[in-house]
A and B are shown apart, each in its own frame.
Chain A
Amino acid sequence: MNWTFFISLLWGLWGTVVLSLLTFLFGGIAGFLIAIARISPVKTISMIAAAYIEFMQGMPLLVLMGLCFYGPGIFGYDSLTPLQAATFALTLYASSYLGEIWRGCLQSVAKPQWEAAECLGLTRWQRMRTVILPQALRIATPPTVGFMVQIVKNTSIASLVVGYAELSYNAKIINNSTFQPFLYFGIAALMYFAVCYPLSVQSRALERKLNVANR
């Protein structure tokens, strides 16, 4: 094994982590807004949010990534950099799933909790912030951490379309010159595993802990 290549894979891993973090951040913010919109009492808002979710979930991430990378150029705008395009596509993708996951969590807080808060005179946003969100957060943590694993793995799709130098991309480049796919894709696999496994363990541990707390 050539150490230069190993270092290159480590840089790829860094690229994967950066892209994942950006996706958590923007996908999380957008996903939160979509979840809120989804349970809005205003029918139009909740329908728009539902349509967004259906549309984004109905499209392969690969295609989404291509649209984000090539789309702006076609319409005469300046193209996005690979990182920008990948972040944008993954944000659209992650926000639709997180929005739906969190909608479920918000709605699983019992309706009488809303009523009790309403009868105390709290506004809708006060109810959401002080009564519903804290309870939904507990419920949401395990599936959210679980979904982070999906995001980390799906950053690899960026290598196929936009040429962003993340882990899979670097493994592919190295393989093109060394013809040792098993070795370098194997190392890449271990690196993905090293990031994802702790998240999975964490997700399961949280699930157990919160189940106990809910008894």
Chain B
Amino acid sequence: MSPIVELKEVRKSFGAIEILKGVTFEVNKGEVAAIIGQSGSGKSTALRCMDRLETIQGGSMRICGHRLEDEKVDLKALRRDVGIVFQSYNLFPHLTVAENVMLAPRLVKGTRRTEARQIAEAVIAKVGLREKMDAYPEQLSGGQQQRVAIARSLAMEPKLMLFDEVTSALDPQLTGEVLRVMEQLAKDGMTMVLVTHEMGFARKVAHKVVYMKDGRVHEQGTSDILRTPSTVELADFISEAAEH
């Protein structure tokens, strides 16, 4: 079976600055892959390319069977298959929690209101916020907002979930509640790619770790490479991360 995520020599520049200089890795169905690395190593850009928020300029990228280097890729089909959660939650502030979650099923899939409400109830319960269904985002803590953002993506029943530093804006207590939701998702068999600074979480949950440095994959392997890195750079990165 072919991988859900397949990057081959992916290149991406912003103007004269090359951010991705040939990135290659794969993620199989049901796997959790953690992309780690310093700021500016290109890890968030790589993730954004996977949902085609950025277009790639070289190499090839196949996500859930969609060829992203193809200009005529069916974006609507891609976005049905892929969910993404951002660092800054990006909930719609004028809609309630339930409305935020129901919006895409109703508009994109044409789900009826009552059915969409049931889907919303199920995914919101899954992230532990059943009692907040009718609250507005501004009435929630950062951790709760991020859990709603996860529920909003789940409502579309994606085959792949992308997480872009989803806990970086949260303080430690709130980080825990978001990570628990993600851990549960991983247990349920969701294929996930996450850009993260949470080494402990990567060690515990990730099947695969991709260490990026200067726009390239410097080292990759199972989460064991976090315990026994084979390059000096990854070893340094891990010990630096441990100090924080």
Contact = CB atoms under 8 A, between A and B. Distances in A.
Interface of A: 112-113, 115-123, 126, 130-131, 134-135, 138
B24 interface: no
B110 to A, nearest CB: 12
B92 interface: yes
A126 B110 CA distance: 13
Contact of A120 (B53, B94, B103): B103
A189 to B, nearest CB: 41
Contact of A116 (B92, B94, B108, B156): B92
B53 A119 contact: yes
13 contacts: A112-B88, A113-B90, A117-B92, A118-B53, A119-B51, A119-B82, A120-B153, A121-B104, A121-B108, A122-B104, A130-B92, A131-B92, A138-B94
B93 A135 contact: yes
A122 B93 contact: no
B84 interface: yes
A120 B90 contact: no
A131 B93 CA distance: 9
A49 B53 CA distance: 27
B80 A121 contact: yes
B232 interface: no
A161 to B, nearest CB: 43
* Chain B facing A: main interface SS: mixed
A130 B103 contact: yes
A180 to B, nearest CB: 54
B76 interface: yes
A120 B156 contact: yes
Contacts of A126: 107-108
B152 interface: yes
B79 interface: yes
Contacts of B25: none
Interface residues of B, number: 22
Contact of B90 (A112, A122, A123): A112
B152 A135 contact: no
B86 A112 contact: yes
Given A119-B84, A121-B79, A134 B94 contact: yes
Interface string B78-122: 011011101010111110000000011001100000000000000
B118 to A, nearest CB: 18
Nearest to B106: A130
A134 B95 CA distance: 10
A117 B153 CA distance: 11
A121 B94 contact: no
Contacts of B104: 120-122
A120 B90 CA distance: 12
Nearest to A119: B84
Contacts of B153: 120
A163 B123 CA distance: 65
Interface string B136-168: 000000000000000011001000000000000
Contacts of B83: 119
A34 B67 CA distance: 36
Contacts of A134: 94
Given A115-B53, A130-B103, A131-B92, A120 B86 contact: no
A48 B243 CA distance: 56
B135 to A, nearest CB: 15
B156 A121 contact: yes
A2 B182 CA distance: 80
A112 B91 CA distance: 9
A103 B76 CA distance: 27
A159 B107 CA distance: 50
Contact of B152 (A113, A120, A123, A130): A120
Contacts of B51: 119
B79 A119 contact: yes
